[in-house]
Amino acid sequence: MERKNAVKGVLWLLTGMALVLAVSRFSRGLGATTNLSDSQPWGFWISFDVISGVALAAGGFVMAAIVYIFRIEKFKGFVRAAVLTAFLGYIAVAIGLAFDLGLPWNIWHPMIYWQYRSVLFEVAMCVMLYLTVLGLEFAPVALEHKLARYRILQTIYRVLKTLTIPLVILGIMLSTLHQSSLGSLFVIMPYRVHPLWYSPGLMLPIQFFVSAVALGFMMVILEHYISAWIYKHKPRTDLLASLSIPAAGFILLYGAFRVGDLMSRGILPGAIDGSWQSWLFIFELLVSVGVPVLIVALPKLRKSGSGLFTAALFTVLGMILYRINISLVTMARWPGTSYFPSMVEIMVSVGIIAGLALVFMYFVENLQVFEETMKQGEPRELETAEEVLARTEEGRRPPRGVVTGTVSRFMERWFLNWEPFQKPKFFATTRTWFGNPLHDGIRRYSMLLVVAVAVTAAILPENAIFGFKYEPTPVAPARVQISDQGEMLLIDGNRNGEFVLMNHDTHKERNGGMDGCVNCHHMNFPDSQATACAACHADMFLPSSAFDHDRHQRHHDGNKGCILCHPKDKNPDNAKSCAACHQEMFPGVAETERVNFMASSYQDAMHGLCETCHQEQAVERNQPELGLCSQCHPALE
């Protein structure tokens, strides 16, 4: 299999997974699909997709500035790819945001309902405008395609070409604003952001902007190496090495701002005090500043492809880490709560990137995105059968090395030679291909998509399928204790092993002696002297069914027994009443009409029994302490 097709296959798989998760998120809501909470309202989607995503798309304005404003034209070959990456990156941001918003159909509201005192408003407006500018910057590339040969489109093409410089300058202005304003978002949270990351005033926006510029350079390098690997181009390490020098400059500037800011506010000792935040801070600076600057500073490493790739990768990871740290990891949370993104959150983020990577590959293969490597207008010569076969053989030669060789031979033998994946055969005499239709790209990728959809649907967590459900909080059955005060009932009110005392004798007295038993013991199960409240009130907070359908079904030999209770239709409304079989359970109660009634929750039942009387008595006897929770919950004292 060709490398780019393998990559596309993986991307289709990931996209398919995200499609299922999208259905789940929009039909079941955020509570059912994410791990977000009142304590952590902004999660992975905001930190990674939006705040990091915008910065990862900074390559567009950085490269445009270098080539069109500073007129360093040897880098012209990188501009189109950088602008396309930026354009798709901002679309990814918009899609990620739509997943995260509670009311995504109101995403256009900032355009109408202005609230210019909100930083987020400024970010939203700039991102929307800049997305338009990027679209206009990239449109000429699309209009060069032979399908766009209509006169009107060509007129637009010429207009856009003449507008290049104003568009580039406008793009840089908008980028400066929103790249820095993403940092200003956190200025309003001085109590939530950790002091090692928080800084009042203009420091946060400056750090965000400078790191975004550095990230822009390094993203161009990283993206060039990745597409060179996929399309088997020779990477232009010579050019990229000279691009990495200003990048390192900006990284150093960023590092200086980070450390200098801490020093000027006198909290630099906090960075080495051994708390986990200080280790994280050091690790982050090492990844984002230390390693890349070191590599770029050494000419030998800088001029080698792998060295430069490593530097770019570390910068990108480090700057993403910075953004995730400030917006997620070090953010203050309510004590006892924690956050880790759910499978849905991670897979959706990955899927959005995968889907847009497919769009990127489509553009690269159909438009002139890499100006230097693809020549326009040259008709592709027809290959002879021998050439095709030679090329195919070349592509199929197993890689060397023990592990990769074994794996690829295994794949070759058991997987690729499996009929749907077999290569079609070329018949030179008729110049036609014969073979399994599954080899056709669309069919192969749609099959992968279907597989992805099926697999994801199968492994979805329960909540993501059936909607939000509270986790049941079980209670322990009541215990009876005989003490010198009489019979005391111990009730685990807080379901933490701390029992509430209930004087059984006084309750019996107050309920009218032996006649009042049924008030509490309304269901006398066989051999049960004092049915635990939890037998019916099965959850601390949720109402629950007192009727155990499964148990009855098992007792009556499974489906054979249905008819014993359901003479006609099988629904709860026409089922036999409990008392029809269990008279002994309802002393003094003639008939219980329905079996599907919901017993009130444990807390409601208990509080309903005690609280009303307690509060009445508190007023009547003028003893307010009777109404206090601590009257029955001594732990609250």
Partner 1 sequence: MKSILTDVTKCIGCNLCVTACVEENGLGEHVPDWRRMNDGLGSNRWCSVLSVKGGRYVRKQCRHCLEAACVSACIVGALKKTPEGPVVYDPKLCMGCRYCMMACPYGIPRYNWEDVIHYIRKCTFCYDNRIEKGLEPACTEACPVEATIYGEREALLEEARRRIKDHPDRYINHIWGEREVGGTNVLYLSDVPLTMLGWAPKLSEQPPPELTWGVLKKVPFKFVGMGVLMGSIYWITGRRRQVALDEADRRIQQAKDNQAAGEPADDEKEQS
The verdict on 266 binding partner 1 (CB under 8 A) reads no
Q: How far from chain centre, in Å, is Cα 81?
A: 27
User: Which residues are paired to 486 by β-bridges?
Assistant: 483
Nearest to 131 by CA among 165, 174, 98: 174
Work out how close the CB of 166 gets to partner 1 at its nearest, in angstroms, rounded to a whole number.
9
The verdict on 598 binding partner 1 (CB under 8 A) reads no
The contacts of residue 506 (CB under 8 Å, 6+ apart) are 486
For 76-121, give the secondary structure using H, E and C.
HHHHHHHHHHHHHHHHHHHHHHHHHCCCHHHCCHHHHCCCCCCHHH
Residue of the chain from 2, 3, 74, 115 that contacts partner 1 (CB under 8 A): 115
Q: Which stretch binds partner 1 (CB under 8 A): 66-74, 150-158, 233-241, 362-370?
A: 66-74
Q: How far from chain centre, in Å, is Cα 343?
A: 7
Residue of the chain from 52, 180, 211, 277 that contacts partner 1 (CB under 8 A): 180
Work out how close the CB of 165 gets to partner 1 at its nearest, in angstroms, rounded to a whole number.
7
Q: Which stretch binds partner 1 (CB under 8 A): 155-163, 166-174, 417-425, 429-437?
A: 166-174
Q: Counting beta carbons within 10 angstroms of the beta carbon of residue 335, is it exposed (0 to 12), middle (13 to 18) or buried (19 or more)?
A: exposed
For 376-404, give the secondary structure using H, E and C.
CCCCCCCCCHHHHHHHHHHHHCCCCCHHH
Q: Counting beta carbons within 10 angstroms of the beta carbon of residue 455, is it exposed (0 to 12), middle (13 to 18) or buried (19 or more)?
A: middle
The amino acid at residue 521 is H
Q: Which residue, 66 or 502, is less far from partner 1 as judged by CB?
A: 66
DSSP string, 190-221: TTTS-TTT--STTHHHHHHHHHHHHHHHHHHH
549-588 residues near partner 1, rule: CB under 8 A: none
Residue of the chain from 6, 10, 165, 256 that contacts partner 1 (CB under 8 A): 165
Residue of the chain from 65, 143, 533, 536 that contacts partner 1 (CB under 8 A): 65
User: Which residues are paired to 598 by β-bridges?
Assistant: 545
Work out how close the CB of 520 gets to partner 1 at its nearest, in angstroms, rounded to a whole number.
24
Q: Which residue, 177 or 291, is less far from partner 1 as judged by CB?
A: 177
Work out how close the CB of 50 gets to partner 1 at its nearest, in angstroms, rounded to a whole number.
10
Q: Which residue, 253 or 523, is less far from partner 1 as judged by CB?
A: 253
For 355-370, give the secondary structure using H, E and C.
HHHHHHHHHHHHCCCC
User: Which residues are paired to 489 by β-bridges?
Assistant: 480, 502
Residue of the chain from 226, 374, 605, 629 that contacts partner 1 (CB under 8 A): 629
Q: Using CA atoms, how far apart are residues 340 and 551, in angstroms rounded to an integer?
A: 38
Q: How far from chain centre, in Å, is Cα 376?
A: 40
Q: How far is CA 479 from CA 158, 422, 447, 504, in A?
A: 86, 70, 59, 11
The verdict on 385 binding partner 1 (CB under 8 A) reads no
Q: Using CA atoms, how far apart are residues 37 and 407, in angstroms rounded to an integer?
A: 44
508-527 residues near partner 1, rule: CB under 8 A: none
| Binding-residue total with partner 1 (CB under 8 A) | 78
Work out how close the CB of 329 gets to partner 1 at its nearest, in angstroms, rounded to a whole number.
15
Task: Give me the residue label for tokens 């009547």.
Answer: 620
183-222 residues near partner 1, rule: CB under 8 A: 184-185, 187-192, 200-202, 204-205
The verdict on 28 binding partner 1 (CB under 8 A) reads yes
319-378 residues near partner 1, rule: CB under 8 A: 332, 334, 336-337
The verdict on 122 binding partner 1 (CB under 8 A) reads yes
The verdict on 537 binding partner 1 (CB under 8 A) reads no
463-482 residues near partner 1, rule: CB under 8 A: 467-468, 470-471, 473
Work out how close the CB of 525 gets to partner 1 at its nearest, in angstroms, rounded to a whole number.
27
Within 10 A of 20 (CB to CB), how many other CB atoms are there?
23
Residue of the chain from 19, 120, 268, 562 that contacts partner 1 (CB under 8 A): 120
Q: Which stretch binds partner 1 (CB under 8 A): 106-114, 148-156, 243-251, 279-287?
A: 106-114
Contact of 191 with 94, CB cutoff 8 Å: no
The verdict on 173 binding partner 1 (CB under 8 A) reads yes
The DSSP bridge pattern shows strands 486-491 and 500-503 to be: antiparallel
Residue of the chain from 13, 177, 354, 520 that contacts partner 1 (CB under 8 A): 177
Q: Which stretch binds partner 1 (CB under 8 A): 178-186, 238-246, 313-321, 398-406?
A: 178-186
Work out how close the CB of 479 gets to partner 1 at its nearest, in angstroms, rounded to a whole number.
24
Work out how close the CB of 41 gets to partner 1 at its nearest, in angstroms, rounded to a whole number.
4
73-102 residues near partner 1, rule: CB under 8 A: 100-102
